[in-house]
Structure 1
């Protein structure tokens, strides 16, 4: 799992480093799957080819672990996580990225649907693992929207501005606040300072 985590962008790696050890492999894997699906969408010259690739992932997730395709490190990591990541989170993550295929400029409706699936698949999974019982849905969706603005600046239509959700407090939720801050044009030193102190 260390090799998988090392392929993540630095802010995501920082978030993984602050994740409790028991959940670190599953959280790193979810973030890496998100990066992989974003890359499929980014490189999609033919939307149908990208659709086939995402459908392959959906089928692989739905298959029994013993019959999943061999040779894909992220699927092997999923098998090692056992029941750590829910099937619904995996399905939502694939569906979120499928919504963005096929258009030169993304419709606001599809972007918002994407955020409503992508954010909770990652943030909601983490919150469920640590059992904090807090509602991170608004934070997760804002993170997904802000991340898209950074990842695909030429694709987004203007979205209505929303008040930024308050960052969660507490050490256990620090990975989520790190991710949320990382897409808010925060400097590297400021992000590292937040990771250390929570402020």
Structure 2
């Protein structure tokens, strides 16, 4: 019987060894699966970040394109403002006698001034034309001087030197005004 016991012991040892090897293989496979899952999650995270970066770049480029489209002509617009100022001054200096003598020429200047304003409007340039008595707004007006004028309130516009302009929502040039410093 000792041989039979030895034989049974060998079988049990072989089974135990096979079981241990199988358990080690399962353990190795579990580690490998966990490693692959971690790697997959890492790649997914990198992909999502790259996708978000691409979307942000697209939005940024779209915003820059829109701004370039809207505000790209700012320098030209600023260079055209003195043309408007000169035409307006010319029209303000015309007397009734000159209007009678040179009606067609003066009408041409008026039409040119109107057309210039239409072109400005077409390109998002709006006139800021404050009136005497309006409240001074530092966001739209530039105070050229202050003077105490009777029957006015502090911060009230008392003279308009030059009209201002907006380019869409940006100030192109503030209106230049005189402001009352009357204490009350």
| Structure with bigger gyration radius | 2
Does TM, normalized by the shorter one, top 0.5? Answer: no
TM score, norm. by length of structure 1: 0.28
Higher strand share: 2
TM score, norm. by length of structure 2: 0.30
